[in-house]
Structure 1
Amino acid sequence: MALPPGSFGLPLIGDSLKFLRDSQFAKKRHQQYGPIFKTSIFGEPTVFMRGQEASLFVLSKENQYFVVSFPPSTKALLGPLSLSLQTGANHQNRRKLLYQAFQPRALAGYIGAMEDITQRYLEKWVEMETLTWYPELRNYTFDVACKLLVGMEKGSETALGHYFETWSKGLFSIPLDVPWTQFGKAKKCRKLLLAELEKIIRDRQQGTPSGNDALSLLISARDDEGKSLSLDELKDQVLLLLFAGHETLTSAIASFCLLLAQHPDVMAKVQAEQQQFPAIEPLTLEQLKQMTYLEQVLREVLRLVPPAGGVFRTVINACEFGGYEIPKGWSVVSGITQTHQDSQLYPEPDRFDPDRFSSDRSPKPFSYVPFGGGLRECLGKEFARLEMKLFAAKMVREYEWALLPDQDLNLIAIPMPHPRDGLRVNFRRTTMNR
């Protein structure tokens, strides 16, 4: 059976640089070769696939044909004990433990702190009037993640926050381990981050677990054999949770802000829905569930600009897809962005249309995968959805924003999609009549 069409690019580095620098890399190759093509990135022969059938095949054949994989830089910086790198029964066991921090009861307990931090930032932005929003949103989501995951106030202003920023820039980079490269700087910051996290964990273990952040739940959690997480594992898992609860959310929230500014008709409908809810009362899970149009808008944001562009896997048993052989030992990338851009699944895929997700038009299974799917679907999916919805509801009720002219709004894809010039806006309070 033939290998997929495509080329491996340059010796040794293959197409790694093009993949990292060109946000349209996969799209251009798919246009050239069709729904499946081969290339070489990060030193590995790699097959890119797109479409609903590809998502279903890759995400539902975990441990049969595929195991989780990441670029070498990501593996080194996440750490060997991170849930995202574990496989098989070990992964399932650890996933069950970590889920305790994201079950409905835990989420309900996060709302108050989430709302307080959101309000603080909204008031700060009103005072600033004109701002470059993306770095501010990064600080906001990091403060929320630090408070709810490790019980730390204003995490973005601490050493942890500064180390974290440098660390995250190296996650998708060429893994050249010398001090002046992005990867070298990130690796140094990983050590500093783990030292900070160790202090926080030891303090918490010696004190009384507060019970209302994820770290407290993880310290007291026990697996099926009654064992708790070791210190080293706690550090790697908390680092992963901070990354997952921050970087992807910043991208998603920034995309929401950008798309609503560009589509005043959608903004007007979201504001009209919010008129049903009393602005003076704290938000509840029940209220958030009733915001059905806002839910459609957020789903369409994640379709159009999914924070993770694809999922990486390693082939453990040779298999066949679309009439082509995929050899054992190769890497596979199942494209989330490219699947969401499939015009057979989503007519006029470039158009921002929240009505795609109205109750009578639900997408086919595995055609909408912003959080992945199958055994490895994003563990913090409901945490992310909660934070996005709460932030969006508070924003549109009492504030408005306008894009400043003469800025580049094209998206940089790595490490997560964000506007090239950082999303510059005017921000002000409105007086919505109640």
Structure 2
Amino acid sequence: MDQTVPNPPLPVQVPLAREPWGIWKSFRVARRNLLELIPELALRQPMVSGRMGKRWHMIMDPGANRRVLRDAVDDYPKSDVTKLILRPAIGESLFVAEGAHWRWQRRTAAPAFALRNIQNLGPVMTLAAERSVDRLAASAGRATNVFDEMVTATFEVISDVTFSGDEGFDRSAVHHAIDNYIAQTARVSLLDIIGAPMWVPRPARVMSSGALREMKRVADGAIEARRKTGARPVPDLLDLLLEGEDPQTQRRMTTAELRDNLLTFIVAGHETTALTLAWALYLCAFDQTVQDRARAEAQAVLGDRPATAADLPSLPYIRQIVDETLRLYPSAAFLARTAQKPDRLCGREVRAGDTIMLPIYALHRNHLLWPDPHRFDPNRFADPRAIDRFAYLPFGDGPRVCIGASFALQEAVIILATLLARLRFAPVPGKEPRPVLILTLRPEGGVWLRVDPV
């Protein structure tokens, strides 16, 4: 009698490429889901190279990642395609700028994201978590798109910590303008695939400029209004950036520079955290044993109150769930750089002009780095020191590591702990999400779960 135990089911994955494709098929696949361009071989190799218009290299090796992101960071600036997609929306802000222009902005903005300031913003996150529980509880017993709810909750947080005084700032209009921009312009163009010069217009990106101009005008007005009214009793992000000054040059941000960076923080500060929370709830519904353990931890710490920033050290398993979620479904699942000079990575020649891709999705599932990499197992992060920091890059690393990483992690743990302490999440048959990378790794069709009170 066959006693073989069947392999347990795995959470949803992206179907990776099993054969090389030509330019036209690659374009069609990239428009559908950029991650499907990753060859399956990337899950078992440290580096994969090829040519499509220009030479490219995908890196899944911690040592090579360290060189690109930290040791030789100036030799590997963000790719032209990345800048072309993002610059119309966020200008020469921290996410796009390079060299000295990036450095002075980073020095100016860094104090705003000091741990003390992030913890001071905790009450906003706690309040958003409480409201989210109330909204989800109202849909008890029904299938609910928890991704939509997490977008609502995290946008409440980022708008409250960015423009707490409102000053005529139309939050809904900004939210819709950002979503529309991503939907229209963040998909790869055929001109990007064939390596056309950046000065050749990409029609979809040109057509979206009107909504962006209006969004920037509204943001500029809110910034100028705050300059006149002064800081809030508890400074928000806008107050902190208005007071920011480069300690080396004493330079302060202009209204346009402030606006571009604030719009960057608004996009990154709600979209990525909402995705992390939605994927985490999907995974907790997928594995009820994990969910039960997390709920027991949250209830023991919180009782019947929402989580606060002060609770984070007492919620280690929920933080492990967040970390493992970011491993399986990293919001920034694909990074691209352009080599500025000849180099060697993984013993292979790199030429000036080559595209260097860091497919974080493949790195986090590489069999050389992670045992049983497609399995959901928060225990991997019981001792974070055991993990090579350049094998796990949900926020990048090196000098350009995400400035808001601590903000995002604090928010994710506060909201997830509060939800799991009071609500139970279960899968909806036939409604599995499909991971699709446009600008971030989104669940196509949403994350539909049954929600019930505990």
Same fold (TM over 0.5): yes
Residues 247/122 of structure 1: CA separation in 2 closer, same or farther (3 Å cut): same
2:36 is matched with 24
Q: Deviations over 1:82-133 (max 9, x none)?
A: 1112222332221121122211111111111111122112211221333222
Q: Structure 1 stretch 81-90 or stretch 110-119: which is displaced more?
A: 81-90
* Number of positions where the alignment pairs a residue of Structure 1 with one of Structure 2: 421
1:367 equivalent among 384, 391, 398: 391
**8 Å Cα contact 1:44/1:330 also seen in 2:** yes
2:92 maps to 1:81: yes
2:224 maps to 1:193: no
Q: What is the CA distance between 1:161 and its match in structure 2?
A: 1.8
Question: In the aligned structure 2, how far is the partner of 1:263 from the partner of 1:100?
Answer: 39
Q: Structure 1 stretch 200-209 or stretch 89-98: which is displaced more?
A: 89-98
Question: In the aligned structure 2, how far is the partner of 1:245 from the partner of 1:171?
Answer: 20
1:137 is matched with 150
Q: Structure 1 stretch 61-70 or stretch 144-153: which is displaced more?
A: 61-70
1:3 is matched with none
2:175 is matched with 161
Q: What is the CA distance between 1:398 and its match in structure 2?
A: 0.8
1:220 is matched with 243
2:122 maps to 1:108: no
| 3-state SS in 2 of match to 1:128 | coil
Q: What is the CA distance between 1:155 and its match in structure 2?
A: 8.2
**8 Å Cα contact 1:66/1:316 also seen in 2:** yes
1:299 is matched with 323
Q: Deviations over 1:137-157 (max 9, x none)?
A: 222212211111222679896
Question: In the aligned structure 1, how far is the partner of 2:170 from the partner of 2:153?
Answer: 8
2:297 maps to 1:273: yes
Question: In the aligned structure 1, how far is the partner of 2:353 from the partner of 2:374?
Answer: 35
Question: In the aligned structure 2, how far is the partner of 1:251 from the partner of 1:100?
Answer: 26
Matches within 5 A, 1:225-264: 225-264=249-288
2:103 is matched with 92
**8 Å Cα contact 1:145/1:242 also seen in 2:** yes
**8 Å Cα contact 1:65/1:318 also seen in 2:** no
| 3-state SS in 2 of match to 1:307 | coil
Q: Structure 1 stretch 240-249 or stretch 48-57: which is displaced more?
A: 48-57
* Unaligned residue ranges in structure 2 (runs of 5+): 1-18, 192-198
**8 Å Cα contact 1:166/1:185 also seen in 2:** no
Paired AA for residue 152 in structure 2: N
Question: In the aligned structure 1, how far is the partner of 2:429 from the partner of 2:238?
Answer: 43
Paired AA for residue 230 in structure 1: T
| 3-state SS in 2 of match to 1:378 | coil
Paired AA for residue 172 in structure 1: A
Question: In the aligned structure 1, how far is the partner of 2:358 from the partner of 2:90?
Answer: 23
Residues 213/143 of structure 1: CA separation in 2 closer, same or farther (3 Å cut): same
1:49 is matched with 59
**8 Å Cα contact 1:271/1:396 also seen in 2:** yes
| 3-state SS in 1 of match to 2:358 | strand
Root-mean-square deviation (CA, aligned residues, Å) is 2.8
**8 Å Cα contact 1:30/1:37 also seen in 2:** no
| 3-state SS in 1 of match to 2:452 | strand
Residues 358/162 of structure 1: CA separation in 2 closer, same or farther (3 Å cut): same
Q: Deviations over 1:53-75 (max 9, x none)?
A: 23222112344531223525423
Question: In the aligned structure 2, how far is the partner of 1:163 from the partner of 1:340?
Answer: 32
Question: In the aligned structure 2, how far is the partner of 1:278 from the partner of 1:144?
Answer: 21
Question: In the aligned structure 1, how far is the partner of 2:360 from the partner of 2:50?
Answer: 17
Question: In the aligned structure 2, how far is the partner of 1:278 from the partner of 1:89?
Answer: 46
**8 Å Cα contact 1:58/1:334 also seen in 2:** no
Q: Structure 1 stretch 193-202 or stretch 400-409: which is displaced more?
A: 400-409
Question: In the aligned structure 2, how far is the partner of 1:366 from the partner of 1:373?
Answer: 7
Question: In the aligned structure 1, how far is the partner of 2:44 from the partner of 2:214?
Answer: 44
Q: What is the CA distance between 1:180 and its match in structure 2?
A: 12
| 3-state SS in 2 of match to 1:125 | helix
Q: Structure 1 stretch 112-121 or stretch 370-379: which is displaced more?
A: 112-121
Question: In the aligned structure 1, how far is the partner of 2:299 from the partner of 2:148?
Answer: 30
Question: In the aligned structure 2, how far is the partner of 1:405 from the partner of 1:114?
Answer: 32
| 3-state SS in 1 of match to 2:208 | helix
1:125 equivalent among 101, 118, 136: 136
Paired AA for residue 215 in structure 2: L
Question: In the aligned structure 1, how far is the partner of 2:159 from the partner of 2:220?
Answer: 14
Question: In the aligned structure 1, how far is the partner of 2:432 from the partner of 2:131?
Answer: 28
1:173 is matched with 187
Paired AA for residue 100 in structure 1: P
Residues 370/165 of structure 1: CA separation in 2 closer, same or farther (3 Å cut): same
Question: In the aligned structure 2, how far is the partner of 1:62 from the partner of 1:150?
Answer: 37
1:423 is matched with 447
Question: In the aligned structure 2, how far is the partner of 1:33 from the partner of 1:364?
Answer: 17
2:225 is matched with 203
Question: In the aligned structure 2, how far is the partner of 1:202 from the partner of 1:46?
Answer: 44
Q: Could you tell me the percent identity over the aligned residues?
A: 23
Question: In the aligned structure 1, how far is the partner of 2:268 from the partner of 2:409?
Answer: 13
Q: What is the CA distance between 1:291 and its match in structure 2?
A: 1.2
Residues 34/284 of structure 1: CA separation in 2 closer, same or farther (3 Å cut): closer
Q: Deviations over 1:9-56 (max 9, x none)?
A: 43xx7934433424332143636987221243xx65432221222322
Question: In the aligned structure 2, how far is the partner of 1:357 from the partner of 1:384?
Answer: 18
Q: What TM-score, normalized to structure 1?
A: 0.88
